[in-house]
Amino acid sequence: MQLPTDTAPAERAAVRPVATASATASAAALAGTVAGAAALAVSELLAGLVAGAPSLVVEVGAFVIGRQPPGAKQLVVGIFGTNDKLALNVLVALIAVGLAALLGIVARRRQGLARFGYAAIGLAAFLVSLPDPLVDPLLALLTCLVAVAVAILTLQRLLAIATPAAARAEMPDWSRRRFLGTSLGVGAAAIGGGVVGRLLLDRQRLETPPGVPALPPVAAPTLPPGTSLEVAGLTPIVVPNDRFYRIDTQLLTPRLDARTWKLRIHGLVDREVTLSYADLLAMPMQQQYVTIACVSNEVGGDLVGNALWGGVRLQRILDLAGVRRGASQVVGRAFDGWTCGFPTLWLTDEGKEALLAVRMNGAPLPAAHGFPARLIVPGLYGYVSATKWITEIELTTLEAFDAYWVPLGWAKYGPIKTQSRIDTPRGGVQLPIGRVAVAGVAWAPERGIAGVEVQVDDSPWAAARLSTPIGRATWVQWLYPWNAVAGRHALRVRATDGTGVVQTAAVQPPAPSGATGYHTISVSVG
């Protein structure tokens, strides 16, 4: 590939008048903006077309995520969610384009400095994308070179059009129109190209990952009758994979290759063990329903779900390595360095069937949910336990290591708090007078749910009907038939866990250890 390092002779002639007359600052800023947008678009397109080429926006975003200052809780809460990932993408793109615009203004007087600026941004983007295990360093280098070349050439072209032929001359009308037309044209192409590139990239990541075999058959627990209530608008007792909530620090879905994937069990063990995907599949498998939840779920939020997880008992894997006495923490580490950690004691308590899961609702784990393998630990929030795309299990002590979210202000221990949610009716709706099915879900994994009560305005709490619990690790559905009378009403819900403890009414935000309080909605009847 030939990468222009300097202007072609013809262009040099066109650019020369810069010394005597130059584009207006606003024209130069526009030219720089368009140049920056074109460079980003090229990187998105390359990333979408060639697996292993980086999206520079994503890589810079990942760098920002990885460098949150400790205690920046608001920021930290923010990047858990999907909308916040979009916001971070947009923010990175805007800052990049803003810098490019400034360099456009610089280029009016000092072309060399502007070029140097673009090259420096390109170099920074290259360095930042190197730690990403899914990025090919050579492709990253090429992407950055092409992006910088596109930025420099676009800027030069546009400035040449915007520069009056003679000193102190005003830009004539026709040339202003040409400049604006070209800028808008290139800008629109950049936006279109960038969007197409990102769509391709998303699609590439959602394709079935390489090396997914037909999984061996394994018995699923049969559900007792009554585990599901039929109510319109109620969350299904088992959430399908494509509707399951997704939370992680990855801006794109990682696609790992099962053929090369390895899991290393090390640390305070008698012998280090490394397992391949095939090794795992050859081990005895079991399936169990477990409700997992995100610590950043707000009261009434939907970052919680129940699925049938299939895999190898974690204890069996730990036994292969032989956990040494003195090991007090299990650390799960993902391919990208993300970590979680929980007490080994959590596993030895009776009935805590933690899994190294390879299946979700019968299918191989979807890429978004951790393919090839992830941890599922009943009763613990995801951030301390549910490592997706896991590549290492390390046995250590609780004192020796704090996992990813702990130094960022989240609690070291993350048992899931008892919670309940009203799914239907939706808050704010208008209802007819008469029978209304008020229904939702309630969960206290590992303790189970013993009861759910509903309160209408100030009336006494009334018991709701429960679905037959699948087990202590899963949520239940509840139903309360309400005789609605005219007026505005507040509806609230609370659950009692399997140990008889009523969910707390004290209102707490998600940070640092999970939100508490009663989900309350208001509806108008009549």
Ligand X SMILES: Nc1nc2c(c(=O)[nH]1)N[C@H]1C(S)=C(S)[C@@H](COP(=O)(O)O)O[C@H]1N2
User: Nearest to ligand X by Cβ — which residue?
Assistant: 382
The CB-of-8 to Mo ion minimum distance in angstroms stands at: 53
The CB-of-369 to ligand X minimum distance in angstroms stands at: 4
- Which of 176, 178, 246, 264 lies at the binding interface for ligand X (CB under 6 A)? 246
- Which of 332, 370, 382, 415 lies at the binding interface for Mo ion (CB under 5 A)? 382
The CB-of-199 to ligand X minimum distance in angstroms stands at: 22
Buried b (16+ CB within 10 A) or exposed e, 51-70: bebbbbbbbbbbbbbeebee
CA dist 392 and 5 (Å) reads: 44
129 binds, among Mo ion, ligand X, none (CB under 5 to 8 A by kind): none
Chain centre to alpha carbon of residue 504: 29
Question: Of the two residues 7 and 249, which places its CB atom closer to ligand X in the complex?
Answer: 249
CA dist 138 and 236 (Å) reads: 46
The CB-of-392 to Mo ion minimum distance in angstroms stands at: 20
- Which of 35, 135, 294, 299 lies at the binding interface for Mo ion (CB under 5 A)? 294
The CB-of-419 to ligand X minimum distance in angstroms stands at: 14
Buried b (16+ CB within 10 A) or exposed e, 351-377: ebbbbbbbbbbeebbbbbbbbbbbbbb
403 binds, among Mo ion, ligand X, none (CB under 5 to 8 A by kind): none
Residues 6 or more apart in contact with residue 240 via CB below 8 angstroms: 361
Buried b (16+ CB within 10 A) or exposed e, 433-467: eeebbbbbbbbbbbbbbbbbbbbbeeeeeeebebb
Chain centre to alpha carbon of residue 255: 14
Q: Which residue type sits at 19?
A: A
Task: Please tell me the count of residues contacting Mo ion according to CB under 5 A.
Answer: 4
For residue 295, report the phi and psi dihedrals to the nearest 5 degrees: -65, -25
Q: Is 248 a binder of ligand X (CB under 6 A)?
A: yes
Quote the crossing angle between the two packed helices 82-109 and 137-162, to the nearest 10°: 50
The CB-of-388 to ligand X minimum distance in angstroms stands at: 4
- Which of 244, 289, 342, 443 lies at the binding interface for ligand X (CB under 6 A)? 244
Question: Of the two residues 28 and 375, which places its CB atom closer to Mo ion in the complex?
Answer: 375
The CB-of-203 to ligand X minimum distance in angstroms stands at: 19
β 419-424/286-293 pair status:
unpaired
CA dist 242 and 193 (Å) reads: 28
- Which of 338, 342, 371, 478 lies at the binding interface for ligand X (CB under 6 A)? 338
Task: Please tell me the count of residues contacting ligand X according to CB under 6 A.
Answer: 16
- Which of 55, 249, 344, 419 lies at the binding interface for ligand X (CB under 6 A)? 249
- Which of 387, 418, 474, 503 lies at the binding interface for ligand X (CB under 6 A)? 387
- Which of 45, 160, 186, 247 lies at the binding interface for ligand X (CB under 6 A)? 247
DSSP 54-83: PPHHHHHHHHHHHTPPTT-HHHHHHTTSHH
- Which of 58, 294, 321, 452 lies at the binding interface for ligand X (CB under 6 A)? 294
State the Rg of the chain over Cα. Answer: 28
Binding-site string for Mo ion from residue 233 to residue 272, where x marks contact by CB under 5 A and - marks none? --------------x-------------------------
The CB-of-375 to Mo ion minimum distance in angstroms stands at: 13
Sites of contact with ligand X (CB under 6 A): 244-249, 294, 334, 338, 369, 382-383, 386-389
